[in-house]
């Protein structure tokens, strides 16, 4: 419970910092802004929306769900599947309740419905969310959703019972909004969206997925801190879940990550935010890449800093993966990063 801290980001959406992982979940410039700038816009999701095509998304490292919720804001009344992988169940339970600046009650109720359908007991979720509220500032949470949670708990116990039995939470929601005289119709705009949650190490989950995804979000902690989801072996596994036109999107622009993508045969592009290189997109289809890596990036990949992280059995802990790369770097005949930078400025 004490392992995460909440903070207000520059766009006023709430971000998290993990004490345990010593890493931020979200950019200080805006948790919601980051989701759109680095994931939703570069993924080309809007093209699927415009063309009315159904879309399958894999959200690796869902956390408190900014990428998931931002994607859903584009997918009202659309046909889609979003599979979400997150190792910490608590974070998933917080998704509908965080103050994220997404003013879409319907969207959040649908996520809550899907969370309860994974078999999580409503009372456990209630205890979990309350324990975070108790230890943190109430302004970090979405007041409408907190009220709705109390409504389920206190005044609609029999309806809540239905929810626990996996009937549609939407009925409770409709009852709630009617009671609160909110002018709304009983139309579920997310009826055709299938959201699935998987709670485990993404390495174990992705192996078992029998799908090809159009869009994959990779939002793991930074490679230097925790490389387990940035190894060439894990990226190869991700590749096996992509078709020719699929796109992999990440906030990371780390050299070993881009180097692994290159070695795996991807075409790689940069994500520019306000003119600055702030992330990576990769696809097997060259035409999907708008801003390809420039020669500087490609040369950088050939240096020692481009030596990839490896995890041959997809089971090593971060320190083993980091050590393995350090040894490979030590014995490599490649030019060092520093020597490379010196050479190009001469
Ligand atoms: C940078 S945060 C993701 C932020 C998230 N996308 C959001 O919008 O809140 C990284 C997340 O990866 C999760 N994680 C770390 N290692 C993981 C693993 N091996 N498999 C799955 N999830 C993992 C952490 O619990 C954390 O929630």
User: pLDDT digits over 83-102, tens only?
Assistant: 999 999 999 999 999 999 99
pLDDT digits (tens, 9 = 90+) for 177-195: 776 655 555 567 888 899 9
- pLDDT tens-digit series, residues 50-90: 887 899 999 999 999 999 999 999 999 899 999 999 999 99
User: Token match 């192996």: residue?
Assistant: 207
Considering 100-114, 160-174, 287-301, the range whose residues carry the highest mean pLDDT is 287-301
Which pLDDT does position 189 carry in this prediction? 85
State mean pLDDT over 160-165: 58
Directed axis angle between helix 157-164 and helix 169-179, to 10°? Answer: 160
Nearest CA to ligand 1 atom 11: 61
CA–CA separation, 167 and 119 (whole Å): 12
Give tens-digit pLDDT for 198-227: 999 999 999 999 999 999 999 999 999 999
pLDDT at 155: 66
Segment 281-327, tens digit of pLDDT: 999 999 999 999 999 999 999 999 999 999 999 999 999 999 999 99
Angle, CA of 171, 174 and 179, to the nearest 5°: 130
Rounded mean pLDDT, 335-343: 91
Question: Best mutation site among 61, 68, 85, 223 for ligand 1, i.e. most ligand atoms within 8 A of its Cβ?
Answer: 61
Query: Crossing angle of helices 105-117/169-179, nearest 10°?
Result: 140
Q: How far is the CA of 55 from the centre of ligand 1 (A)?
A: 22
Averaged pLDDT for residues 319-341 = 96
Q: Candidates 23, 63, 216, 231: which one to mutate for ligand 1, based on the most atoms within 8 Å of Cβ?
A: 63
Model pLDDT, residue 183: 52
CA angle, 149 as apex, 138 and 122 as ends, to 5°? 120
Task: Please give the pLDDT value at position 190.
Answer: 87
Q: Looking at mean pLDDT, say which of 14-28, 39-53, 147-161, 299-313 comes out highest.
A: 299-313
Q: Which residues contact 88 (CB under 8 A, 6 or more apart)?
A: 199
- Indicate the top mutation candidate among 23, 28, 86 to test ligand 1's pocket, ranked by most ligand atoms within 8 A of CB: 86
Query: pLDDT at position 152, please?
Result: 86
Secondary structure (DSSP) of 158-226: HHHHHHHTT--HHHHHHHHHHHTT----S--TTTTEEEEEE-S-HHHHHHH----EEEEEE-PSPTTT-
How does residue 174 score in pLDDT terms, banded at 50, 70 and 90?
confident
User: In angstroms, rounded to a whole number, what is the distance separating the alpha carbons of residues 238 and 248?
Assistant: 9
Q: Which residue puts its alpha carbon closest to atom 18 of ligand 1?
A: 201
User: How far from 196 is each of 87, 110, 212, 249, 262, CA to CA, in Å?
Assistant: 14, 12, 15, 20, 30
Each residue's pLDDT tens digit, 130-157: 999 999 999 999 999 999 999 888 866 5
Measured from CB, residues less than 6 Å from any atom of ligand 1 are 25, 61-67, 85-88, 91, 201-202, 219-221, 228-229
């Amino acid at each position: 419970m004490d392992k995460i801290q909440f903070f207000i980001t520059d766009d006023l959406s709430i971000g998290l910092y993990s004490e345990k992982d010593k890493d931020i979940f979200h950019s200080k410039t805006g948790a919601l802004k980051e989701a759109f700038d680095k994931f939703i816009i570069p993924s080309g999701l809007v093209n699927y929306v415009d063309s009315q095509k159904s879309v399958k998304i894999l959200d690796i490292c869902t956390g408190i769900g900014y990428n998931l919720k931002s994607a859903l804001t584009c997918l009202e009344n659309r046909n889609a599947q979003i599979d979400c992988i997150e190792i910490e169940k608590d974070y998933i339970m917080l998704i509908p309740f965080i103050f994220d600046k997404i003013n879409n009650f319907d969207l959040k109720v649908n996520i809550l419905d899907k969370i309860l359908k994974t078999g999580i007991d409503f009372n456990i979720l209630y205890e979990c969310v309350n324990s975070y509220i108790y230890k943190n500032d109430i302004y970090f949470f979405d007041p409408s959703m907190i009220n709705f949670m109390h409504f389920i708990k206190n005044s609609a116990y029999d309806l809540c019972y239905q929810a626990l039995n996996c009937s549609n939470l939407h009925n409770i929601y409709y009852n709630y909004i009617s009671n609160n005289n909110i002018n709304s119709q009983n139309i579920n705009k997310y009826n055709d969206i299938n959201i699935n949650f998987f709670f485990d190490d993404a390495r174990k989950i992705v192996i078992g997925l029998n799908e090809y995804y159009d869009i994959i979000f990779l939002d793991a902690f930074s490679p230097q801190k925790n490389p387990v989801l940035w190894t060439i072996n894990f990226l190869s596994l991700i590749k096996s879940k992509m078709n020719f036109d699929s796109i992999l999107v990440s906030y990371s622009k780390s050299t070993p990550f881009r180097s692994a993508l290159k070695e795996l045969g991807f075409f790689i592009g940069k994500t520019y935010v306000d003119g600055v290189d702030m992330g990576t997109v990769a696809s097997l289809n060259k035409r999907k890449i708008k801003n390809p890596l420039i020669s500087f990036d490609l040369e950088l990949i050939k240096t020692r800093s481009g030596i990839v992280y490896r995890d041959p059995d997809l089971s090593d802990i971060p320190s083993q993966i980091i050590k393995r790369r350090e040894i490979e770097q030590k014995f490599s005949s490649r030019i060092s990063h520093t020597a490379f930078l010196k050479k190009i400025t001469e």
